[in-house]
Amino acid sequence: MIILKTERLILRLLEKNDKSMIQALLNQASFIENIGDKGVRDLDGALHYISTGPLAMQKALGFSLYCCELKSTGETIGLSGLIKRDEITHPEIGFAFLSKFFRQGFGFESVSSVINYAKNTLGIEVLQAICNPSNKPSINLLSKTGFVFQKKVMLDSARDEINLYEKVLEID
């Protein structure tokens, strides 16, 4: 099911056929370093992640991380969307891309679209984001899309403090 379209991307619900991209993404060194090790090592683990993570969140909350697909080729390149953790007050922006798609503007394009969707379709008034303090590209993207650093926080699942960012959405 398609959720959003941007100039170059389709953001849609994850499907079983996305398992190879998910396995590759979740085992990428930059993902493990900046987001964490989800323990997904094979295609069965990727299917489990899809069904118990994003698809379960979509069913429960009406939003989730979405598969980013290139309009031009249909190739799946990463995730972008919204998540909700118990430890964080408001829904969060989340994004991760396969490394061969870094520095091509897909993060900015997808995150900007998700922010508008959160505001205009879901009626969300405040978005938050967490980020590893050493992840400069993601910090720059959050800043470029209007997120402001709030404080350092410690999540139950984290070994170290992480940065918490926030963006207040002006509902028209």
pLDDT at residue number 135: 93
d(CA 111, CA 107): 6
What DSSP letter does each residue of the chain carry, written as one string?
Answer: -EEEE-SSEEEE---GGGHHHHHHHHTSHHHHHHT------SHHHHHHHHHHTHHHHHHHHS--EEEEEETTT--EEEEEEEE--TTSSS-EEEEEE-GGGTTSSHHHHHHHHHHHHHHHTS---EEEEEE-TT-HHHHHHHHHTT-EEEEEE--TT-SS-EEEEEEE----
Report the chain's mean pLDDT, rounded to a whole number: 94
The pLDDT of 91-108, averaged and rounded, is 96
Q: Is the pLDDT of residue 88 over 70?
A: yes
Question: How confident is the model at residue 170, as a pLDDT?
Answer: 80
Q: What is the pLDDT of residue 149?
A: 96
Residue bearing the bigger pLDDT, 37 or 27: 27
Share above pLDDT 70 across residues of the chain, in percent, rounded to a whole number: 98
Parse the chain into domains and list their residue ranges. Answer: 2-168
Prediction pTM value: 0.93
Give the CATH number of domain 2-168: 3.40.630.30
